[in-house]
Amino acid sequence: MRCAGLVLLVLVLTSCGDERTGQRYRAERELWRADQQREELRSRGAGDAALTALAARYETVGRRFELDAIADSAAAAVQEVAGRAWLEAVDVHLARVDSLRAVAILDQMHGPYAAIPTIAAEVAWRRGRIARAYGDRPLAIELYRKAARTLEPDPGAESAADSVHHLPLEALELARGIREGPELSEIDSWAQEYYLDHLDADSLDVRLDARRLLSETHMERGRWDEAIEQLTELERELLSHDEQDEALPRYEPASIRLRRFEARVGGWLESTESLDSLRAWFERLRDDYEDYGVAPPALWVMAKAAGERGLTEDALRLLSQLRLRYGNAPILAEAMLQRARLLEREGRWREAYVEYRLLATERPLSGPGLQVPLEIADHHRGREDQLATREALLRAEEHYRGIIDRYPPSPHTILARERLVETLERLGLDDLALEEILELSRRAAGRPRELRLLRRAARLAESSLADPVLSRQILDRIVQRYPSTRIGQWAAQRLGRPEVLDPGR
Partner 1 sequence: MRFYESLGAALWAWGGSLRLALDLRFWSPLLMLTLLRLAVLLLLVFFHRPEVAGAGTPLVGLLGGAEALHYPEHLYRMFGLFRPLDAFVTVLAGSVAAGAVSLRFARAYGSKVAHQRWKGLRSGLGQLILLFAIALAAELAFVGLVRLIPEEIRHATTKFRLLSLLLEWGGRIAIQTCLAYAVVEIAVRGLAVREAIVSSVARTRELPLLTLVLVAGTSGLMFPFYLMADIDLGDRIPLPEAVVILVVVQILADLVFTLLRLGALTRVFVWRTEVRR
User: Can you give the binding site for partner 1, defined by CB under 8 A?
Assistant: 10-19, 21-22, 24-26, 28-29, 32, 36
| Shorter beta-carbon distance to partner 1: residue 60 or 255 | 60
Q: How many Cβ atoms are within 10 Å of 297's Cβ, its own excluded?
A: 20
Phi-psi region for residue 348, left (φ > 0), alpha (ψ -120 to 50) or beta? beta
Shortest reach from residue 113's CB to partner 1, in Å: 19
Shortest reach from residue 243's CB to partner 1, in Å: 20
Shortest reach from residue 60's CB to partner 1, in Å: 17
| Shorter beta-carbon distance to partner 1: residue 20 or 264 | 20
| Shorter beta-carbon distance to partner 1: residue 14 or 328 | 14
| Shorter beta-carbon distance to partner 1: residue 31 or 374 | 31
CB 374 within 8 A of CB 396: yes
d(CA 5, CA 396): 87
| Shorter beta-carbon distance to partner 1: residue 10 or 248 | 10
d(CA 372, CA 163): 38
Shortest reach from residue 244's CB to partner 1, in Å: 17
| Shorter beta-carbon distance to partner 1: residue 11 or 247 | 11
Shortest reach from residue 33's CB to partner 1, in Å: 9
Q: What angle do CA 187, 192, 193 make, to 5 degrees?
A: 95
Q: How many Cβ atoms are within 10 Å of 236's Cβ, its own excluded?
A: 12
| Shorter beta-carbon distance to partner 1: residue 25 or 407 | 25
For residue 323, how many C-alpha atoms fall within 13 Å in the half-sphere facing its CB?
19
Shortest reach from residue 68's CB to partner 1, in Å: 20
Shortest reach from residue 12's CB to partner 1, in Å: 7
d(CA 105, CA 84): 12
What DSSP letter does each residue of 120-182 carry, written as one string?
HHHHHHHHHHHHHHTT-HHHHHHHHHHHHHHS---TT-SSGGGTGGGHHHHHHHHHTT-SSSS
